[in-house]
Amino acid sequence: MTTFLIGFMGSGKTTIAQLLAEDFIDMDYVIVERIGMPISTFFAEAGEGAFREIESQVLEELSQNEGVIATGGGIVTSDDNRRILSNAEAEIIYLKSDFDTLYQQISMDTTNVRPLFIDKSREELQEIFETRAPLYEEIATQIITISGKTPEEIIKEIRR
Ligand SMILES: Nc1ncnc2c1ncn2[C@@H]1O[C@H](COP(=O)(O)OP(=O)(O)O)[C@@H](O)[C@H]1O
Ligand SMILES: O=C(O)C1=C[C@@H](OP(=O)(O)O)[C@@H](O)[C@H](O)C1
Ligand SMILES: [Mg+2]
């Protein structure tokens, strides 16, 4: 059984995947290993388009993998990616929240430099959120509202 975690930046995909399975896979970690530099450096040097190509390649490779896989927030922006996820016969858990909560969680996270958070204004980021929100809903097999919940409460809800 494969479980994908999807949702906007800051929704806790990486955190929750780690708590759900010791041997979880984070797509961003796989990408960083492949490109040999931080994602923010790659965005600046090669552009977002180049990142999206590698992201799609990695998704294709992982789509038949067993276990828990944390995606990056932009995975739903490609029609092909959404098709791969829907066809994978996997559980697709959407960690859903309002933009204010997500913005706060991204802002507090000093361990991860997110290029879109650095390069965009709050208003621009909210526009991206509003474009993506229906796409997460569209492919999710389970929706978990995360606002006001601790990671422990969230994994309990997922396991139930
Ligand atoms: N339920 C939660 N409540 C409070 N903070 C959270 C929660 N889930 C994640 N965080 C924090 O939010 C930040 C982003 O989490 P992360 O797992 O990296 O999200 P994502 O992978 O979806 O971008 C981290 O600093 C993390 O510790
Ligand atoms: O939303 C996005 O476009 C991105 C989200 C990031 O992952 P997280 O959602 O884990 O922060 C990472 O893949 C990259 O910075 C792009
Ligand atoms: Mg992450």
Pocket of ligand 1 from Cβ distances under 6 Å = 7, 9-15, 70, 105, 108-109, 112, 146, 149-151, 154
Instruction: Give me the pLDDT at residue 62, please.
Output: 95
Instruction: Give me the pLDDT at residue 112, please.
Output: 92
For the Cβ of 73 lying below 6 angstroms from any atom of ligand 2, the answer is yes
**Predicted TM-score (pTM) above 0.90:** yes
Confidence of residue 64 (pLDDT cuts 50, 70, 90): confident
Instruction: Give me the pLDDT at residue 31, please.
Output: 98
- Write down the mean pLDDT value for the chain: 97
- Top-level class of domain 2-155: alpha beta
Three-state SS at 2: strand
d(C-alpha 140, C-alpha 156), whole Å: 18
Concatenated DSSP letters of 75-119:
GGGSHHHHHHHHHTT-EEEEEE--HHHHHHHHHH--S---HHHHH
Give 67-83 pLDDT, tens digit per residue.
999 999 999 999 999 99
Q: Which of 8, 9, 126 to mutate to test the pocket of ligand 2 (most atoms within 8 A of CB)?
A: 9
Q: How far is the CA of 46 from the centre of ligand 2 (A)?
A: 16
Does the predicted interface ipTM exceed a cut of 0.95?
A: yes
For the Cβ of 39 lying below 6 angstroms from any atom of ligand 2, the answer is yes
DSSP H or E stretch at residue 33: helix 27-35
For the Cβ of 14 lying below 6 angstroms from any atom of ligand 2, the answer is yes
Instruction: Domain ranges for the chain, please list them.
Output: 2-155
Give 39-58 pLDDT, tens digit per residue.
999 999 999 999 999 999 99
Give 80-130 pLDDT, tens digit per residue.
999 999 999 999 999 999 999 999 999 999 999 999 999 999 999 999 999
What's the token pair of residue 133?
A: 């929100």
Q: How far is the CA of 105 from the centre of ligand 1 (A)?
A: 6
* Ligand that comes closest to the CA of residue 113: 2
Instruction: Give me the pLDDT at residue 81, please.
Output: 98
